[in-house]
Chains A and B, each alone.
Chain A
Amino acid sequence: GENVEQHPSTLSVQEGDSAVIKCTYSDSASNYFPWYKQELGKRPQLIIDIRSNVGEKKDQRIAVTLNKTAKHFSLHITETQPEDSAVYFCAAILSGGYQKVTFGTGTKLQVIP
């Protein structure tokens, strides 16, 4: 089955700096890679996603890059703000048939004002 590793487990940055979270996956058949933000006691919230036919996607301060050959993808948050503080999870999915989500281990991001 799919295995997703995520690093770092914790990340502290000063407000305004950039944050980068990296994930690797094992199943080369996975083709959909969402990133979720989860606040304490709440459901995961999709913040950006990328499909295997795309190398990079950006949405305002958030960007995701995908390297299919190396089987890794990264989340980039620029100009971080205190409200970005949360736990972030990457995930890998084989879409096309209601496949299950395999989550990374999570990164607790703290943005220091």
Chain B
Amino acid sequence: EIVLTQSPGTLSLSPGERATLSCRAGQSVVSSYLAWYQQKPGQAPRLLIYDASSRATGIPDRFSGSGSGTDFTLTISRLEPEDFAVYYCQQYGSSPRTFGQGTKVEIK
């Protein structure tokens, strides 16, 4: 099983700042099959990024994904008030498909 470790656990930032979230895999993720999801309190997760760097339909271009192998990054270029949430990475290159433990982006 591929373990995904997200860091930091919590990121305290102000609106307008840049957010950089990390997802590190215990072994290489096949074909960069990595996705990012956003979850707000009391809501279902929402797909942001798939295949490490492709934005899902309707996702603003301030969200970008990068990385390969074992190291992946989600960047939010300028935080909007609605971006404060928990973010999860997920690998789907190997069975079982696994999620990271999440990074909370909170208002500073």
User: A and B: real partners?
Assistant: no
B interface with A by C-beta (< 8 Å): none
A interface with B by C-beta (< 8 Å): none
